[in-house]
Chain A
Amino acid sequence: MTVGLPGQVGWTPSELELGRRAYRRSRGRRSTLVALISTLAFAALAYFTVTNSPGWPRVQATFFSLEVAKDSFPKILEGLWLNVQVLVVGGFLVLVFGLAIAVLRTLRGPVFAPLRILGTVYVDIFRGVPLIITLYLVGFGFPALGLQGVPTSPFILGTAAIVLTYSAYVAEVFRAGIESVHPSQRAAARSLGLTHRQSMRIVVLPQALRTVTPALLNDFVALQKDVGLISVLGAVDAVRQAQILTGQSFNFTPYVVAGLLFVLLAVPSARLADYVSARARRRQQAGGLL
């Protein structure tokens, strides 16, 4: 003797249930409609208030001049290419150095004390010193030594300074990740006969990296904006190009254009960060009870 389950063929919701569904749908439609109307009304009010305010034509001409934007766009884009190059090269080196420093700082055993201290001192110094000072010291200071083989290109020197600073930040992110892996994982790995290095590589780091990915991508977005600071060394990047154009015309639109380009650069990173952390959550919690 079987009881008819909802969803089986032949079953239809009762009049009452259909009525409830229709009511819910109508409430939903009403909410959407109200939200739409209020948004439109607000947008219209905002538009008319702003465009009719006495200062608006000047604001528009100074910050949002389409003509100036059109003229400045190709040059700023050219400058942005330099930012992207520094970002890619610098970003890669930061990951390598950051991870190396984090591993040094988490080494166990008394014999590694000097390395641990070295790592700690490095992080303390370069996380504390303002990036602009590191840039000046590396960018103008190193070449001033007049040593043979010291590069003079602002690209190389600027990237080096950025890598020095950001490696310190990223090393701390990695270290937090490594330390967040439960000691039992390490103990289990060692009990299986893995060496310290093997357990680090096979057990600890994969879990640590997954945990810190959102924080790393956050630092990456910060790096995207700070690469513009290499312009103090004379390199013409997007920010400097915008400054030059603004200096020529006293119109601030080039800054707005450069700002928007940086936002466009940051948006994919932000979406990637969202996606990666969502995927990590799914994987880590797959098969769990909750």
Chain B
Amino acid sequence: MIWDVHTHLHGVDGRTPEERMARLLKFADRMGVERVVLYMGFPFLTDPTTEQLREQNDQVLQAINHYHDRAFAFVYLSAKHPDASLRELDRCVKDGPMVGVKLWVARRCHEAEIDPIIRRATELKVPILQHTWAKAIGNLAGESHPSDLAALSRRHPKASFICGHTGGDWAIGIRAIRDCSNVVADIGGSDPTTGFVEMAVRELGAERIVYGSDAGGRSFASQIAKVQGADIPDAAKKQIFKDNLKRLLTPILAAKGVKP
């Protein structure tokens, strides 16, 4: 079975969060995806206001409300709004059902303004998934390069980081996070290119790779193929598909008294 660290309501048909969630899980069922981690509402907002952050998180809370046996959620935060983000972190994680943090493209993650968010997330024992890309055509102004995440992880050695998309251009991303033992690679949200997972296993070790899809914008299918088609041992595939994410979430699930 598969646990997916990277799914969204965006890109899935439906008028309400509940409708979209039901549809997403229908495809997940078809592909053998047992659990999904969901974050961000719809439409996608690259630089949300504090009010929009709250609305987006409310959509996700609404979406998972009837699916606690299938879906985990990460709280969407923004380093542009550290104080409001700390309030959202407490509302959705400390006092709510969410089990991780998602940071996207509002502000690059190597900047010091993000530090209070990381410190609080670490206190709460939740992993932080930071979107990263190394785009040949140039990143957005607030978009983090995987090297930005590497710098952040060195400042916070006790934090648990997930490198979203492994930098997109994975041959760059894998190298950038190679010496950062508190960073794991999320393989989702890029083309199903041959060689990606093999290089990640070689350079990071299978224990530092987690399966993610970026569904609904991506298919579960193309992203599962990266692992299923990789020339790696079956035991490594099992770690990537489920065991590693389960391990990352164990501290917060235990703190919340949730049995995975």
Do A and B belong to a common assembly? no
Binding site for B on A (CB under 8 A): none
